[in-house]
Amino acid sequence: MSTKYIKRLAENDLIKKLNSSGCVLVSGPKFCGKSTMCNQYARSSVALITNNDIEIAEADPRYLLNGETPHLIDEWQKVPELWNIIRDDIDKDYKFGKYILTGSTTPVNEEKIQHSGAGRISTVQLKPFTLYESGESRGLVSLRELFANNDKEITTVFLQNNNMTLREMAFLLCRGGWPISNKAKKEYAIDVTRNYYDGLFVVENENDEFSTFIKGKDVNLLITVLKSYARNISTQSKISSMVKDIKESGIRETLDEDTFASYANILKKLFIIYDMPAWNFNLRTSVAVRTAPTHHFIDTSIALASLGINPEDLINDMKSFGYFFEDFALRDLSVYAQSLDATLKHYRDSSGQEVDAIIELKNGKYAAVEIKIASKKNIEEGIKSLNAFEQKMLNNGYNKPNFKMLLTSHGGAYKTEDGVFVVPINILKD
């Protein structure tokens, strides 16, 4: 491997699936490092980039299967018939790790995919760098170790020994985890991210996946919907509320919910936004568990770029900073959870009790994580909320969380007397 290559946590998932399935699909947003990671494990590759590449593939898709295995087909979704051909090829000659597919979108015409690929094609999602992957988290506290030993004590990292500041955290949110932004000099890194955002909605050629997604669509409306999600980041806002806000703002005079939802679906297929599901189960009380998902971005920097927000703006609006920081922290937590083969969900009930993130392992163990900008008031509220949630679980006959964590923006790390781990995000890892 190249000495300049930065290892990704998703590699372990990729290796496991290459050794347990015939084909692995690696999906994620543009420029998050899919091709770079997969090329570390492929022995041959082909990329569907130019118009000529795509024309050849459409004329003779089986031609693309030639090569030493694992054989990488980059941006496969531009010729969706490949899915069925690869599935049939694996059926006829099943070998582990024959193919790796990468895709920056889901296929535009999913009707061309005739079979699910279950048992033959497995999936891995890649997101932009976490702070641990980019080397900006010291990795002193491990989720894996906390699940293994919930009585573990953590080494106290005092504030004066922690170089993260609120201003530095605001910069990291605006820069994001994009490999190209991480390579740039710090004074230009946010500009690189904004250039990336500006390029998301530019049609480069007729075969560009974005071009096919927006055929007959209004790009300005797509950007309007994106900004609406950015304004409602880390909330369970209903589509009806977001449509109402757009109409009342005067941006658009007419807009119905179905149209809004169809444009939101495009953003999801482009791996720009996603909805985090609720942790849903039946409590033995009159308290109802809410099932609405929480709106999030694959990387918070896209939300901030869409609204023209810079680090100083975040510092000057701490309430909004809190919502954006929650989204940012969940980017890292989602990658760490994937590394643990765990699910990540949120909890909210009709009494107002909520937990920003529930990390649940396949064996049923789970952790409750609250996410806060570090301040005395926020830390006290977060600890109180986590303890109330734990008590509610015990009162209803459920196992208490394997551990409780308050994930903060900066400051010290320690364990409280009632067992809450207070951990700044820049010392966390999987």
Determine contact, residues 191/308, Cβ cutoff 8 Å. Answer: no
Neighbours of 417 (CB within 10 A): 5
pLDDT (0 to 100) of residue 260: 95
Residue 148 tokens read as 């293994």
pLDDT (0 to 100) of residue 219: 87
How does pLDDT run across 247-299, given as a tens digit for each residue? 988 888 889 999 999 999 999 988 999 999 999 776 666 566 788 999 999 99
Q: Which CATH code fits 10-125?
A: 3.40.50.300
pLDDT (0 to 100) of residue 159: 42
The residue extents of the domains of the chain are 10-125, 141-429
How does pLDDT run across 101-140, given as a tens digit for each residue? 998 876 544 444 444 455 588 999 999 999 999 999 999 8
7 burial (CB, 10 Å; 0-12 / 13-18 / 19+) is: exposed
Q: Rounded to whole angstroms, how far apart are CA atoms 139 and 134? A: 11
Residues 179-183: contacts with CB under 8 Å, at least 24 apart: 179/6, 179/31, 179/32, 179/33, 179/36, 179/128, 179/129, 180/31, 181/301, 182/129, 182/134
Q: Cα dist. 198→2, 47, 195, 219, 321 in Å?
A: 30, 24, 5, 12, 23
pLDDT (0 to 100) of residue 110: 46
Q: Rounded to whole angstroms, how far apart are CA atoms 257 and 261? A: 6
Query: What is the full DSSP assignment across 68-82?
Result: SSSEEEETGGGSTHH
Strands (E), 268-329: 273-276, 294-297
Residue of 320, 309, 214, 322 lying closest to 265 (CA atoms): 214
Which residues of the chain carry a pLDDT beneath 70? 1-3, 106-119, 150-162, 203-213, 282-288
Q: At what angle do helices 186-200 and 300-307 cross, to 10 degrees?
A: 80
Determine contact, residues 112/81, Cβ cutoff 8 Å. Answer: yes
Query: What is the full DSSP assignment across 84-135?
Result: HHHHHHHHHS--TT-EEEEESS--S-GGG--S--TTTEEEEE--SPPTTTTT
399 burial (CB, 10 Å; 0-12 / 13-18 / 19+) is: exposed
Residue of 168, 191, 164 lying closest to 180 (CA atoms): 191
pTM flag (> 0.85): yes
Paired strand residues for 405: 369, 421
Residue 9 tokens read as 């946590």
343 burial (CB, 10 Å; 0-12 / 13-18 / 19+) is: middle
Residue of 373, 308, 329, 330 lying closest to 166 (CA atoms): 373
H or E stretch covering 345: strand 343-348
Mean of all residue pLDDT scores within the chain: 89
